[in-house]
Amino acid sequence: MDLQVAAEQQIGYGKLMMQVAADEELSLNNGLKLALFRACNHCLDKSNESRHVVIVLPGGGYEFVSYREDRKVALAFAEAGLDAVVLRYHTKYLEEVLHFNQGVGHAALCDVAATIDELRTNLKLGLANRKIVLCGFSAGGHLAATMCTRFDDNDLLYGGAWRGSVRPDGAILCYPVISAREGLAHETTFTCFTGSKEREDWLKVSCEDFVTDKTPPAFIWHTATDPDVPVGNSLAYAQAMWAKGNKAELMIFPQGGHGLSLATPEVELKNDFEGANEHIARWFGSAVDFVKKYV
């Protein structure tokens, strides 16, 4: 892990917390906290009560959790009429993963499961009747897709004392890491998840191979020129979904980099995001429409 990047992320997240205050800060039994944004506090249209809660899973290669895909994304969902929480799941620097040969995948998946469980069973939150949608960016997209395809896999989710089903109801996958196949795999993501540099181990968590007819609906978007995570990842997941008769929408933009988040200026702390692109920013409205119609 580049120490400068790590420092930038820590500083950025600290500033983000001051800029974008959550409506509530919730604590999970495993010690992690959720930042909750309620649609009733942010959406101008009060005519329709939120029927969904979005769990935002930022990217970062499982080494860190990107502040650019964090609270501002959750706030945008709340403004669009969907309740949202941000989960800053367990991560681990690549050097530590390789030193101990231990990936962070199990811990991260259990973080998502614990969050789903809390939202569905903690009646005090008032969210138990909501449809749960995972919105994952890059490595967070891999985490979301893995949860959508392996929610009943005891080998991946061993040790969890869930009070009910942890199957998500839907997913929004943003330039996601999906496939471990040669030419598609994002090496840092798969290494940090599995604790291994062997493709054989990566293929065990290559999401497109585990799609079933029980996999929840997904909205997927990517740019054709993504230099870090090839667009073939999104194509692989969409094709796997369609092959099983599942609902999936795929939006591919002809040009753009990686890590675009909302693709709006306010993604950056100073509202000066150089990757802002009005055309690409259309993904968000399309994703919200998909969720409201199909989830």
For 114-143, what is each residue's pLDDT tens digit? Answer: 999 999 999 999 999 999 999 999 999 999
Does residue 50 surpass a pLDDT of 90? no
- 198-208: average pLDDT: 98
Q: Which residue has the tokens 């009005």?
A: 278
* Burial zone of 190 (CB within 10 Å; 0-12 exposed, 13-18 middle, 19+ buried): buried
Does residue 160 surpass a pLDDT of 90? no
Residue 272's identity, in one-letter code, is D
- 145-174: average pLDDT: 93
C-alpha 219/C-alpha 222 separation (Å) is 11
- 164-169: average pLDDT: 95
Does residue 294 surpass a pLDDT of 90? yes
- 16-45: average pLDDT: 93
pTM over 0.95: yes
Confirm if 265 and 271 have CB atoms less than 8 A apart. yes
Which residues form the domain of 241? 3-294
Per-residue pLDDT, 292: 96
Number of domains in the chain: 1
Can you read off the two tokens belonging to residue 204? Answer: 């065990």
CATH number at residue 56: 3.40.50.1820
